[in-house]
A and B are shown apart, each in its own frame.
Chain A
Amino acid sequence: MDLQALKKQEHQRRVKKGYMWALFCAVLWGLWYLPGTAVWVLNPFDEMYGEIAAGSGDGMALVIVAVLITAFNALTVILALMVWNGALGKFGEMKRTIKEFKPCSKWFFLASIFGGPIAILGSFMAMGFVGGAFAAVAALMYPVVGSILASKWYGEKISRRAFAGIGLIIAGGFTIFGGGVLTELGNGNVMWLGYLGGLMAATGWGIEGAIAGKGLDIAEPDVGLTLRFLGENIIWWIIIVPVLAIMGFPMFKYALLAFEPLTLLVLVFAGITFGFCYVTWYKSFPLIGVGRGQGIGNLYGLFAVIFIFLFFGDVPSWTILVGGALCLLGSTVMFSEDTSEMESLRGD
């Protein structure tokens, strides 16, 4: 076998692994919806919601409780990532990356600002002020932002075929959640805050992906993602939660009450799914590019519907089946792309 053939074979293996990581991300993201949904009915979050809703209304209660749940989620994600990095023997690399702030870790701390408070808070605002289906559809748009930004900023190439695949997956997501969006648009209150939240979710995650793509030029994805969540924990626990407590919301009272076996168990599983989903998302970027990684990651909508049917027994409607078929078609379009198209992910 000559050198050229070996190079081609190696490249094909890298692309295959890249798609595998993006698919892992989608499956784990879909699984996250199980603990991510169930934790809301458990105490102390259930009682916290009631207390805040009585004084400030349902929309505000949803956003404030979401902040505390997200802060705990970020905490359990860090624990899950410690297990991940420990199993891969990456602690030494982590120390080196933290020390190199200017060339390296600054990108991941920046990514944590866009992916954490901007995207996640935006998603909860969309959910609280318009509805869950609208929030899901708004978030599905993030690969468009990510791939355009990665293309303009550092010349990441995105083929027409890959863009068509991303478009089909987004169309599938719209079909899955579309019916719910129409109902919610008629019922929502304080709508502009919800639309702003939707915009924050799509741009936040898109920008995070593009920034991460830049940081991953010189850092390991496993370590880079752990630093990103270290940044997110600082933002939630050192800035946002204390600020909300100063504003008079009972943040610390309920945070201390969260140390209850069942609540902690559900939060730990949320941390495992979210942490591992995020790390596999980051691992796919250097192998297949930000646009493709985010496009396949968008299959989380389909996987969420499947897992919710399997474990919660919510039977999907026909629009979900049509949307799922579009998602599968979009993925096939991307998976079947000739890998020589991706020999160089950046422009010359």
Chain B
Amino acid sequence: MTFLQPWLLAALPLLTLPIIIHLINQRRFQTIQWAAMMFLLAAQRMARGYSRLRQWLILMFRTLAVAGLIVAVSRPLASGWLGLVSGGQADTTIILLDRSPSMQGRAPGSGESKLETGRQQLVQILQTLSSNRYVLIDSASRQAREFESPKALASSATAGPASAPADLPLMLQAAYDYIKSQRTGRTEIWICSDLRANDWLPDNSRWSALRDAFLELPQGVRLQLLAYPAPSAGNISVRVTSARRQMSKAGPELMISVRLARGEDGEKRQIPLQFEIDGSRSVINVELSGRQTELRDHRIPIEATQARGFGRVSIPADANPADNEFFFVFDEQVPRKTLIVADDPQAGLPLQLAAGISADDAVTCSADLVAAEQLAATEWDKISLVLWQTPLPRGSIAQQLQTFVDQGGQIVLFPPREPSGGEFCGQSWDGWTDGAAAVESWRGDADLLARTQSGAALPVGQLQIHRHCRLKGESTSLATLSSGAPLLGRAQTDRGGVYFCSTTPAAQDSTLASNGIVLYALIQRAAAAGSAVLGKTRWLEAGNAAGEALGQWKRLSGTEDGLSTEAHCHAGVYTEEDRLRVVNRPAAEDEEKQLSDATVNELFRGLDFTRVDDRAGNASALIQEIWRMFLAVMLVSLVLEAALCFPKAVAARETAL
């Protein structure tokens, strides 16, 4: 129970008032010399049962009346928090609002989403609790915005649904930064979320730093979690895994792959998939069995003149409308051109073969071996990938490569025969280490070594590394050798990709060339990623629009909700000059993995943290003032006390004299 005027609880010692009055009354008794004491003593002996109970009841009701009055004037709040916590008005209330697609889930029989319900509950709670200042940090912008009153939260465009995932550590960081910069007083942070693991990132190293930072804040910060952990029952998500234009004998057609997924196993269902391309629609029934089903390379004929276009795949409405549609764009394939700079022909040749052979007839691949000095004349806007197996670039060459990366290009660097110092993207080679090593672990969930579309893992574990070159600098390891050294690491970049492979495909260094699957997949994926930024279409994950000129975006398709400045956070198709941009929710949003209670408690360990679970569509207020109830308790106690104290009418006694 929380109190709006908790300092009035300081009057609780007044509960002893009835006892004190009783003691004072004893002093004020009229004293009389009495002869017939034997009757009084007999009467007292009779007063063992009810009479004694009555005395205690009177004391209890008097105490209850005083307690009821004190609690009533302290303005108690009824809420899901049954424990007694010290309350009071906060100086600043910060709301962290999870607007991710999963928050649009609805409970069965309810028209309101988790986000709408949470927003309304927050409005009601904040109106009751009141605060000097209200700040909203939403998951899409992650920027602190002040608003005047709780009601503004209900109508705020920045509190509506979005397709971007939430990043709770970053949002908490934003809250912490706000508290530090504004030097707020006692602060309450309200987190409204559905506890999706992809939004909370419980393994993120920021959590421990945030915990320590909040604990060090002198003004005291209380964290309140308004959680909607109930999964959206029966929800099915649709996702386009690839969409490409290709020529067939009948003419141009769109090859589109679609994946349907759901949170739990269920019976087989026929799901009508609706494709909409430039206004023309087609429907196909897909049988969903198990957790997910993928429709591969579904062919849809398109106009012969249509080289570029966009469309939408949708399924009928279910528990979460946010994952019922997926936008896509298609374009003519961009040739994948790879530049190879290698000082060791034994390494350069396998790289050239892997980069020059296309896996898809529709895609043209080419790989050119060039010397580092020739790079100055390179047309970088046609290059997808650079494979670098010479000493790390310096000077103007390094500058050109950095620009290439900043524009979305991909570079994979292999160690030279003679590492000669130098640094690129914070990394440098530190000499060769002889000795066979096996690959101990690698990331199969994302990036260059991810599993194939069929779910099969790349045979990275079969590689034999005869020797490797040590790498200095901070990087994200995608594959690790048994010695603990990285085999493949990714440097931190804003855009594009810079990978460091600690061995070469040369036969004396590794079996990358002889066991070419890993090398081929790695290079083709890097080339594909590089070519994706060269074309006039681009697939973007909502919330991540690095390098995009958002101000020039114009919506072609998608939801009309949201601000234009937040276009990258809303699923849809946008145009920027002659280029198409498609924004969709990230793949992680389709995973219904949630945080366990223990994990949540661990994340907030040591902090002043309270959690209450709510459900979508809950119309009853989570928190409400209940002083009337205590006033009623007081009145009832007074009435009962009066009834017990009321002197019984003593009948005129016949004295029998």
A binds B: no
B residues with a Cβ closer than 8 A to A are: none
